[in-house]
Chains A and B, each alone.
Chain A
Amino acid sequence: AQSVTQLDSQVPVFEEAPVELRCNYSSSVSVYLFWYVQYPNQGLQLLLKYLSGSTLVKGINGFEAEFNKSQTSFHLRKPSVHISDTAEYFCAVSVKTSYDKVIFGPGTSLSVIP
């Protein structure tokens, strides 16, 4: 079975500072990896995804993530955060099956301080 760990439940960061949100997963087979963002009172939306190929994945709003197979990690980074990046961020993993089930992590709340 797959699982996802997000070690940091809350991350405060000053505006224009860099940020890294950590994600580790466990799986005995190859996986797809995702980061979703949830703004207040909204549903989740996809930030970026890793399916195969280059381990550095670029997403929307200036975010990027790097897949590290040996460390089973998929950390999310942004070099300079904005107030508008304040949101909940979810890492997720899935195994390619016929049924597309995705396992979500517990989420990291990013607060950008002006």
Chain B
Amino acid sequence: DAGVIQSPRHEVTEMGQEVTLRCKPISGHNSLFWYRQTMMRGLELLIYFNNNVPIDDSGMPEDRFSAKMPNASFSTLKIQPSEPRDSAVYFCASSPRGDNEQFFGPGTRLTVL
């Protein structure tokens, strides 16, 4: 298996633009997680899905952030409009049913100018 796939790996955009981050989880995994990592705040859980259904989105910072999982093999995290303070590395992770081990993707480094 190729592991969790994220695209793009790097994104540079200007303030006010829409940004869409993509994730393909490991086949057969039931849960999918979106995290944000910054030096100041560390690793933050934004939202997670189980069987494509959003379970907890309390970590989503504000209405500018939205996430979808239309099917078991694809999820998106959208920021509209983007702001400089959104600059961070965004990780997607997936987990099979069982012992809660999470498998992380390589991350998307987002820079908002």
Chain B contact patch, size range: 20 to 34
Q: Check if B30 is an interface residue, CB within 8 A of chain A.
A: yes
Question: A45 and B104 in contact (CB under 8 A), knowing A100-B95, A104-B43?
Answer: yes
Question: A107 and B42 in contact (CB under 8 A), knowing A32-B99, A44-B104, A45-B104?
Answer: yes
- Which residues of chain A from 81 to 102 have any CB-CB distance to chain B below 8 Å in the complex? 90, 94, 96, 98-102
A51 contacts which chain B residues (CB < 8 A)?
A: 99
Number of chain A residues whose Cβ lies closer than 8 Å to a Cβ of chain B: 21
Contact between chains at A99 and B55 (CB < 8 Å): yes
Q: Could you tell me which A residues sit within 8 Å of B by CB distance?
A: 32, 34, 36, 42-46, 49, 51, 90, 94, 96, 98-102, 104, 106-107
Q: Could you tell me which B residues sit within 8 Å of A by CB distance?
A: 4, 30-31, 33, 42-43, 45, 48, 50, 55-56, 91, 93, 95, 97, 99-107
- Beyond A100-B31, A106-B42, 20 additional contacts (C-beta under 8 Å) are A36-B104, A43-B91, A44-B43, A44-B91, A44-B102, A44-B104, A46-B102, A98-B50, A99-B31, A100-B30, A100-B48, A100-B95, A100-B100, A101-B48, A101-B55, A101-B56, A101-B100, A104-B42, A107-B42, A107-B43
